[in-house]
Amino acid sequence: MGEQEDLPESAVHVEKVGQIAITTVDLERSKSFYRDRLGMTPLFDAGNMSFFQCGETRFMIGASETAGPPGGTILYFKVANLHSAHAHLAAEGVEFIQEPHLVVKMPDHDLWMAFLKDPDGHVLGLMSEFARA
């Protein structure tokens, strides 16, 4: 048997990296840089956050009183159903620092996120997009 065959099947399956985020002290300056200098496609703004498309990955800039430390990037992992993933992981003792919550209502779907810590204390985001009828 190979090493993969010996691993238990997980009830949660991370599909892909869905978003990467950074913080800035000047949101307008950063928006201009990523849009005008790097050519990223703007998607939408939500509160003090601005979202861009970068290939298959969404990129988010969030305003903060202090910019995040170098290397303080947050990875957001897409999961099929955030609510069931959260329930399963919480039952397994995973530390969540923010419960599932609605981030923004888009024309055809709602974006939900939750935040947890890995064993080394790194913050990770889980995200799901739920279609609306």
Distances, alpha carbon 1 to alpha carbons 7, 8, 29, 92, 94, in Å: 11, 13, 54, 27, 30
Distances, alpha carbon 20 to alpha carbons 15, 16, 38, 56, 124, in Å: 15, 12, 16, 11, 10
Look up residue 2 and give its DSSP letter.
Answer: -
pLDDT per residue as tens, the chain (133 positions): 445 556 567 888 888 888 998 888 889 998 998 898 888 899 999 999 999 998 889 999 888 877 665 556 788 888 899 999 999 889 988 889 999 999 999 999 999 999 988 766 778 889 999 998 7
Query: Which residue in this structure is represented by tokens 């069931």?
Result: 84
Identity (one letter) of the amino acid at 87? Answer: A
- Strand 96-105 relative to strand 74-78, pairing: unpaired
Domains of the chain and any CATH numbers: 4-131 (3.10.180.10)
Cα 92 to Cα 113: distance, rounded to the nearest angstrom: 19
Cα 92 to Cα 94: distance, rounded to the nearest angstrom: 6
Q: Model pTM?
A: 0.66
